[in-house]
Amino acid sequence: MQPTSTKPFSYETFPSSGLVAYFSMEIAINPSMPTYSGGLGVLAGDTLRSAADLGVPLVAFTLLHRKGYFQQHLDSAGTQSEDIQPWNPADFCTEEPARITVSVEDRTVIVRAWRYDLVGRYGHTVPIYLLDTDVDGNSGWDRGLTDHLYGGDTNYRLQQEIVLGMGGVRMAHALGHRLNVYHMNEGHAALLVLALLERQLGGGPLGADTEADIEQVRKKCVFTTHTPVPAGHDRFSTEQTIRILGGDRTARLEKQGCFRDGMLNMTLLALRFSRYANGVALQHGKVSREMFPEFAIDSITNGVHAPTWVSEPVQQLLDAHFSSWRRDNLYLRNAIDLPEDEILSAHARSKEALLTEVATRTGLVLNPKVLTLGFARRVATYKRATLMFTDPQRLLEIATAAGGLQILYAGKAHPQDEPGKALIHQVVEDAAKYSNDILRIVYLENYDWALGAMLTAGVDVWVNTPKRPYEASGTSGMKAALNGVPSLSILDGWWIEGCIEGYTGWAIEDGENDAEEANSLYKKLETAVVPLYRDTPEKWARLMRNTLAFNGSYFNTNRMVKQYTRNAYYPVKLIEQTKVEEEAFAD
Ligand SMILES: *Cc1c(COP(=O)(O)O)cnc(C)c1O
C-alpha cells in the first residue's frame, strides 16, 4: 500500500500515462439516476468515487439502462409490483459524438455513449460512459438493448453483454483513450477480452490466435468475481452463444477453455484472460479458489465510500475532531478518542431523521429511545429475511425485556424471483401479526441508495442473516460501521474480518440448521445487545466509537482502491515493464 503522504494520489503518482478502464453492468452513479440494482452497482459507484478522490487515472463503462431499475410498490399484504423508472440522460450526461458498432445475431448494432463526469474531492475527474443503443438506424428491438438492467431472458442478457464488453472496448478507442488496464467488475463484462483479442489480431483470420496473442490480452486484464456459488455465475448455452455471438467466436472461446458443463461461463472466460483476479473478501477469495482451482485468485475486501455513507451529523462530529478523515480514511482510527456523549448525540440525530422518514412514509410514529434493528437488502432467499421470526414468542420476550423493540425492514426482490417475492409477503404478514405496543415491525417500500443511507446511519444495530457461504462480501454493514452502528450478523463475507465480539458488534454462531442459528441470534440479543443498550449507554457509546475506529478505518473504498491500484492495476513488478512498453503503445 502507498505510504501516507500529505498529498493525495495524483496522476503523476502513476508510472504510466495509460488509463484503467473499469467495466460494470451496473453503477450507482448518482442517487437520482436509477442505473443500479443493489450491492454490485453501489460498490462500483463507491469505487469510482474513491478513484476520483484519489486521482486514479480511470474511465468507466456501463449501460445506460434508459428505463431504470424498477420502483417497488408493496400493497398492504406485501405483494410487490414494479414500475419502470424512465430517466432523461441529457439531464445528467453529455452525449459523445462517437458511434461504434457491434455484431449481435448477425445484425450490426450502432452504439453511442453518454458521458457523466464524476469529479473527486480534489478536482480529478473520472468519466463514466453509459452505452446506449437507442439510436437511429437500429431496429426497434436493438434500440431497447440498453433499456433494462437485469431484465429479459438470457438471450437479452447475452446481447447486452456484447454491447457492454465488446462495445465498451470499441467505444474507448473511438473516444481516443489510451488504455493499459481493463478491469472487469464481475463476469458481465467478460466479452471485452474478445474485442481485445480481435484488436490484437488486427482483425486477422479468425481462429488464428497464438498463446502470445492471448498473453498480450492477459497482460491488460484484471477481473473481480463477486459470486460465491456456481449457480450465480453468468452462463450461456452453446446454442445461444453460436446464435448470438456467432460460430467463429464461439469456437474461439471453446478452444480457450471458457466452457464448463456445455455452457459459456463468463467467470471462466474472465479468469482465463486476466493476469490478476480477486474475490471481494478473504473468505470469498478462498471459496473462489475452490470453485476454480486452476487459477490464482487473490482477495481484496470490499469497502464503501465514506463521505457518501457517513450521515451529516456524524460527518460534523468527525470534522470537529479530525477533518483528515476525508483525505485519508485511515484517520478514522482516531474515532477511538471521540467523546462518548457526542457520538451518542450525533447518532440520535441520524436516528431522528430516519424515524421522521418512517413517519412520513407510513404514518407510524416510532420511539427514538427504543432499541431499533435494521434489516435491509436485496431480497434473496439465502439472506433469510424471516429468520428473526423463527420463534415469535421469544422475540416478544426480548422486546419486553428491552423496554420495546423496533425492527425496520426494506428490500426489493428481482421481478422474476418468485421465492424472493414470497419472502417479502411473509415478512409483511409476520410484521402485521406480531407487531404490538412493545414490538413494532415495519417494512419500508423501495429500498434504494437514499433509504439505504438513512437506515444504515439511523438504526442502532444492523442485522444480517445470510446462509453461509452465500454472502460474497456484503457492504451495508460497512455503511453502518462508518456511522458507528454495530452489526449482529452471521460470520460470512466481510463480517468474518470485521467482527470483534463485543467491540464492533456480535456474531450469530454457526448452527446445523436455521433454527439453531435463530437461537444464537436470540441469545445474542438477550445476553449482549439488550442489556448493553438498556443499562449502560456509556458502554454503548464506546462500542459505537470502536466500530467506527476499527471498521470504518478499514472497510472503505479509499483503502480498497489503493489495494486495487497497487495489487491489480499497477503492481510494482509491472511498473518497469510498463515504462518500456509505453514507447511502443500502438493505439
Ligand atoms: C449497500 C446497498 C446494497 C448492498 O448491501 P448488502 O449488504 O450487500 O446487502 C444493496 N442495495 C442498496 C440500495 C445499497 O445501498
Residue that the C-alpha cell 474461439 belongs to: 252
Q: How far apart are CA 57 and CA 49, in angstroms?
A: 12
Query: Which residues make beta-bridge pairs with 103?
Result: 108
Q: Which of 29, 70, 226, 378 has most ligand 1 atoms within 8 Å of its beta carbon, as the pocket-test mutant?
A: 378
Give the nearest ligand 1 atom to 304 CA.
1
% of the chain surpassing 90 pLDDT: 91
In the numeric block, the cell 440448521 is attached to 513
d(CA 125, CA 30): 15
pLDDT at 110 over 50: yes
Q: pLDDT tens digits, residue range 475-512?
A: 999 999 999 999 999 999 999 999 999 999 999 999 99
Mean pLDDT, range 407-422, rounded to an integer: 95
* Of 177, 91, 100, residue with least CA distance to 135: 100
Taking the C-alpha atoms of residue 56 and residue 236, their distance in angstroms, rounded to an integer, is: 34
Residue indicated by cell numbers 492477459: 218
Buried-exposed string 32-71: b where 16+ CB fall within 10 A, e elsewhere: ebbbbbbbbbbbbbbbbbbbbbbbbbbbbbbbbbbbbbbe
**Domain regions of the chain by residue span:** 19-303+560-586, 306-555
What average pLDDT does this structure show over 411-428? 95
Count of C-beta atoms within a 10 Å radius of residue 403: 14
Say if 19-303+560-586 and 306-555 have the same CATH topology.
yes
> What's the rounded Cα separation, in Å, for the pair 501 and 488?
10
Q: In what order do the strands lie in the sheet with 487-490?
A: 439-444, 405-410, 371-376, 461-464, 487-490, 505-508
Instruction: Give the pLDDT of residue 575.
Output: 55
Q: Strand (E) positions, 285-378? A: 298-299, 371-376
Cα R_g (the chain), whole angstroms: 24
Q: How does pLDDT run across 80-107, given as a tens digit for each residue?
A: 999 999 999 999 999 999 999 999 999 9
For residue 204, the model assigns a pLDDT of 65
- Distance from the CA of 377 to the center of ligand 1, in angstroms? 5
pLDDT, one tens digit per residue, over 18-71 is: 699 999 999 999 999 999 999 999 999 999 999 999 999 999 999 999 999 999
Residue 231 φ then ψ, to 5°: -65, -20
Q: What is the pLDDT of residues 342-390, one digit of tens each?
A: 999 999 999 999 999 999 999 999 999 999 999 999 998 899 999 999 9
pLDDT of residue 456: 98
Q: Please provide the average confidence, as pLDDT, over all residues in the chain.
A: 93
Ligand 1 contact via 452 beta carbon (within 6 Å): yes
| Contact status, residue 464 vs residue 385, Cβ threshold 8 Å | no
Strand pairing class (405-410; 439-444): parallel
- Listed in order, strand segments (DSSP E) in 421-491 are 439-444, 461-464, 487-490
CB of 378 closer than 6 angstroms to any ligand 1 atom: yes
What is the per-residue pLDDT across 331-340, written as a single tens digit (0 to 9) for each?
999 999 999 9
What integer pLDDT is reported at residue 2 of this predicted model?
A: 41
Name the residue with the closest Cα to ligand 1, atom 6. Answer: 474
Please work out whether the CB of residue 223 comes within 6 Å of at least one atom of ligand 1: no
Looking at residue 225, what is its pLDDT?
98
* pLDDT-derived band at 203, boundaries 50, 70, 90: confident
Q: What residues contact residue 215 under an 8 Å CB cut-off, 6+ apart?
A: none
Tell me the residue type at 89: P
Write b or e for each residue in 555-576: b if 16 or more Cβ atoms lie within 10 A of its Cβ, otherwise e: bbbbbbbbbbbebbbbeeebee
- Hey, which residues does 442 pair with through a beta bridge? 408
**Amino acid, res. 99:** R
Mutate to test the pocket of ligand 1, among 32, 49, 451, 476 (most ligand atoms within 8 A of CB): 476
| pLDDT value at residue 574 | 62
Lowest mean pLDDT among 169-178, 418-427, 430-439, 576-585: 576-585
Residue for grid cell 453468468? 234
Please state whether the peptide bond connecting residue 469 to the residue before it is cis, i.e. omega within 30 degrees of 0. Answer: yes
Q: Is 447 in the pocket of ligand 1 (CB under 6 A)?
A: yes
pLDDT of residue 18: 62
Domain at 306-555, CATH homologous superfamily: Glycogen Phosphorylase B; (3.40.50.2000)
Mapping DSSP to helix (H, G, I), strand (E, B) and coil, where does residue 213 land?
helix
* Under 8 Å between Cβ of 540 and 486: no
Residue 476 CA to ligand 1 center (angstroms) comes to 5
pLDDT in tens, 549-570: 999 999 999 999 999 999 999 9
Ligand 1 within 6 A of CB of 28 = no
Q: Which residues contact 533 (CB under 8 A, 6 or more apart)?
A: 371, 402, 460, 540
pLDDT of the residue at 11: 42
pLDDT at 577 over 80: no
Q: What does the alpha-carbon distance between residue 218 and residue 230 come to, in Å, rounded to a whole number?
A: 24
**What grid cell was written down for 250?**
464461439
Regarding the beta carbon of 470 and ligand 1, being less than 6 Å apart is answered no
Q: Whose CA is nearest to atom 12 of ligand 1?
A: 38
pLDDT average, residue stretch 430-456: 97
pLDDT of residue 209: 86
At 245, list the grid cell: 455471438
Distance 475 CA to ligand 1 centre (A): 6
Closest CA to 60 of 101, 118, 99, 6: 118
Of the candidates 226, 189, 134, the one whose C-alpha atom is nearest the C-alpha of residue 21 is 189
Instruction: Extract the C-alpha cell encoding 195.
Output: 474485442
Dihedral sign for Cα atoms in the order 358, 359, 362, 368: positive
For the beta carbon of residue 29, count every other beta carbon within 10 angstroms.
23
Please name the residue whose Cα sits nearest to atom 13 of ligand 1.
448
pLDDT in tens, 219-261: 999 999 999 888 888 999 999 999 999 999 999 999 999 999 9
pTM recorded for the entire structure: 0.94
Query: For 255-293, what is each residue's pLDDT tens digit?
Result: 999 999 999 999 999 999 999 999 999 999 999 999 999
Distance separating alpha carbons of residues 384 and 199, to the nearest angstrom: 46
How far does the centroid of ligand 1 lie from the alpha carbon of residue 573, in Å?
Answer: 35
CB 473 within 8 A of CB 452: no
Quick check: CB of 487 below 6 Å from ligand 1?
A: no
Of residues 267, 264, 281, 240, the one with CA closest to residue 156: 240
Q: Say if CB 45 and CB 52 are below 8 A apart.
A: no
In angstroms, the CA 217 to CA 195 distance is 10
For the domain 19-303+560-586, what is the CATH superfamily, name and number? Glycogen Phosphorylase B; (3.40.50.2000)
- Amino acid identity, position 361: R
CA-based nearest residue to 303, from 286, 319, 280? 280
Distances (CA, A) of 390 to 396, 418, 511: 12, 21, 14
